[in-house]
Amino acid sequence: MKTVLTIVLFIVAAPLAGGLMAGLDRKAGAWMQSRVGPPLLQPFYDVAKLFSKQNIAVHKSQKYYVLCFLVFVILSGALFVAGQDLLLVIFALTLADVFLILGAYSVRSPYSYVGAERELVQMMAYEPMVIITAIGMYMVTKSFSVADIAAFEQNLFVKLPGIFIGLLFVLTGKLRKSPFDLSMSHHAHQEIVGGVLTEFSGAELAMVKIAYWYQNVFLLGLVCLFFASAFWLGVGAVMLTFFLEVFIDNNSARLTWQFTLASSWIAAAVLGMGNLVVLIFI
């Protein structure tokens, strides 16, 4: 019963928290640029307006792919808060991204195709480090269960500092922040069109934005998992990570896909695999 209530709480509260973070992101960015910026609740106004627009799908399968994207993002977060297998959580999140890419590929638009291809490159960049994170947590706790990892008596950061830093590095791309926001960006000056979201509009685009809110909450929850034995330390780490990503986003220009891919793999090899090797000999 407790697990069901936790899942329901996540489904209800995560998009609210994610939307507030999106609003806070824009306010912080505006403050860094000496602007007033939009209201804190502007992301919710934007989504409500998108749902009110005429529902136009460029391809009939597009709605199906967007719905699957949203469902699997929610499923990955629900499995995470329910304390299930971390690898299953990661695979569900990866599958969600695959459905988004299929949605972009389902239309005959060169801009949408370029966005989808960039999204694939971005997945190739961050997925190795995410998998290494799960392996590192297993090597320390002897379990892939999120519940067991959260109940571990010691902060995982103590034994996984390299993996933690490597995860923060690739989260910049996973959270779609500069300089690794290859497939799309919320900064208008970096996009002629909407990248992977070029052909999404109305309710479909609103669903994608809500899915990103769920996803961002889950990703920051993964950061908190490194400090699960000290709750307030975990909250502090999440807040610091969020504002660090916002700061980097507003002070960086987009880099090439070649540099993004190479740097992410180097981080995974040096920080991630290096940390795993050290664990073997401890």
d(CA 90, CA 127): 9
CA gap 273, 136 in Å, rounded: 9
pLDDT at residue 169, rounded to an integer: 92
pLDDT of residue 187: 57
pTM: 0.89
In sequence order, the β-bridge partners of residue 145 are 85
pLDDT at 57: 62
Q: Determine the pLDDT at residue 254.
A: 79
- pLDDT at residue number 63: 85
Residues of the chain with pLDDT below 70 are: 56-59, 183-195
Q: What is the pLDDT of residue 275?
A: 95
